[in-house]
Structure 1
Amino acid sequence: MARQDRALRTRRAIFEGAATVFDERGYESTTISEILERAEVTRGAFYFHFPSKEDLARHVLAAAVTTDGVPENRLKLQQLVDTLLLLAHRMPHEPMLRAALRMSVDLESQRLFGTRWPDWTSLLADLLREACERGEIYQHVDEDETARLLVCSWTGVRVVCEGLPEEYDLAQEVAKLLHLILPAIAVPLVLAKLEVSAERAAELYAGLSLAGTEPAGARRDDEEPSERPHPNG
């Protein structure tokens, strides 16, 4: 069990170290040597867990599609709101999420890996369909189209705010965006019940931190030797 714990810690260190460098330098400019230095692991340990830098990047992108910390809610529209707010609050705190976004908007990375925008769109569309079945949104709302526009708008807020000279609270900006969009899709009775604020995002994040959730791409139960030769040296 001790070796499994060590393996999990090593994998997570590699995962988080790579995400930090991807976020700072971009995928193309990042070398495996930089990842090893940041993660403080050996080359053998790296190749035990990930066959290549490309494979590691795909894990980072996959792990960014997450609803960790979002509680089940009888109002599916609230669950959708919580997903977008919590992601906004997590973004400044978690290099993995920032790295995934940077790779997703970089044209060269898109060519290599594609993006996870379709996954996010599908996730939000499913919540909107549930909301429709429960009478929470107007019948004329197109769930797939609305989900796509939400993903586009959320991403645009993040990218634009990052490039502005002033500092912005991303969760607060996303809350403003939702206040503009929700009246167009939510029936009045449900709209009045929704909690949409940066404060709610912070509360959700506090719960996530207490739970100690780690990125999905960092989880693996394999054992790992301290050194393992690799054919590429």
Structure 2
Amino acid sequence: MARQLRAEQTRATIITAAADLFDRHGYESTSLSDIVEHARVTKGALYFHFAAKEDLAHAIMELQARAARQVASEVESRGCSSLEFLMRTTFETARLAVEGPILRAGLRLATADLAVRPPLTHPFLDALDLTTRKLRAALRESDLHPDIDVDAAAHALVCFFVGTRVAGRSLEPAARLPRRVAEMWHLTIRGLVPVHRRARYLTLVSQLERETRAL
């Protein structure tokens, strides 16, 4: 049992180290030797758990997908509107990205030239599918302008969220992400939401940013 626990701890250490390097330097620019040095493990320990760098990236993407499903499930249980659901999930994802490198690396791996092995699907496609469904529901709930192109809006929103972190990585710390997400929603709400519905959601943006920073 103790041996199994040590093996699990070593695997987690390797994944965290790889995620940190993938986030800071990119998948292509990170070698297995870099990961061994950063994790402070032997090459034998790394190869015991992962045969190739791609396996490490896939493990990180699996953890990201699991976290995304958990966030969506927890927010869904609140019974909030579809637009509020999207707002809360993006802020919660931002919080997790600030707290640790797994979600940050997942965001960067989503933009890497990396094949995603079944049954896992590409995180961009998962996010796009969920965002499209929720925006269609928000349209039915009269929280969007009736002439909105939902497919275009969903694509833009997902790109906006991922790009906020990817583009800002080398310019500002991860702790800035909640502010950037708030800015994203301020612009999105003014572009998509009818005037008489905006006040509620703009107030919610400020509330969620405060909550995210406080956690």
Superposition TM-score, scaled by structure 2 size: 0.74
Give the letter aligned to residue 37 of structure 2.
E
For 1:189 and 1:6, locate their aligned partners in 2 and report how far apart those are by CA, in whole Å. 57
> Are 1:14 and 1:36, in contact at CA under 8 Å, matched by a contact in 2?
yes
Q: Give the structure 2 partner of residue 10 of structure 1.
A: 10
> Are 2:82 and 2:137, in contact at CA under 8 Å, matched by a contact in 1?
yes
Stretch deviating more after TM superposition (37-46 or 161-170): 161-170
> Are 2:81 and 2:138, in contact at CA under 8 Å, matched by a contact in 1?
yes
TM superposition shift of 1:189? 5.6
- Structure 1 178/50 Cα, relative in aligned 2: closer, same or farther at 3 Å? same
Q: Give the structure 1 partner of residue 161 of structure 2.
A: 154
For 2:109 and 2:174, locate their aligned partners in 1 and report how far apart those are by CA, in whole Å. 22
- Structure 1 14/140 Cα, relative in aligned 2: closer, same or farther at 3 Å? same
In structure 2, runs of 5+ residues without a counterpart are 117-121
For 1:173 and 1:100, locate their aligned partners in 2 and report how far apart those are by CA, in whole Å. 18
TM superposition shift of 1:67? 5.0
> Are 1:23 and 1:95, in contact at CA under 8 Å, matched by a contact in 2?
yes
Give the letter aligned to residue 22 of structure 1.
F
For 1:22 and 1:161, locate their aligned partners in 2 and report how far apart those are by CA, in whole Å. 15
TM superposition shift of 1:57? 1.1
Give the letter aligned to residue 135 of structure 2.
L
SS state at 2:75 partner: coil
- Structure 1 170/53 Cα, relative in aligned 2: closer, same or farther at 3 Å? same
Give the letter aligned to residue 97 of structure 1.
L
- Structure 1 140/3 Cα, relative in aligned 2: closer, same or farther at 3 Å? farther
For 2:127 and 2:12, locate their aligned partners in 1 and report how far apart those are by CA, in whole Å. 24
Task: Check if 1:39 corresponds to 2:19.
Answer: no
TM superposition shift of 1:148? 0.7
Aligned residues: 200
Please give the residue correspondences for 1:25-174 in structure 2 after superposition, counting only pairs within 5 Å: 25-65=25-65, 66=68, 68-69=70-71, 71-72=75-76, 73=78, 74-105=80-111, 109-110=112-113, 112-113=114-115, 116-164=123-171, 169-174=176-181
Q: Give the structure 2 partner of residue 199 of structure 1.
A: 210
Identity of aligned residues (%): 35
> Are 2:75 and 2:89, in contact at CA under 8 Å, matched by a contact in 1?
no
> Are 1:82 and 1:201, in contact at CA under 8 Å, matched by a contact in 2?
no
Q: Give the structure 2 partner of residue 229 of structure 1.
A: none
Higher relative contact order (CA 8 A, sep 6+): 1
TM superposition shift of 1:199? 0.8
Task: Check if 1:184 corresponds to 2:191.
Answer: yes
CA shift digits 1:160-190 (9 cap, x unpaired) = 4445489982211221221121133234565
In structure 1, runs of 5+ residues without a counterpart are 207-233
SS state at 1:51 partner: coil
For 1:131 and 1:40, locate their aligned partners in 2 and report how far apart those are by CA, in whole Å. 48
SS state at 1:141 partner: coil
Superposition TM-score, scaled by structure 1 size: 0.69
For 1:83 and 1:121, locate their aligned partners in 2 and report how far apart those are by CA, in whole Å. 13
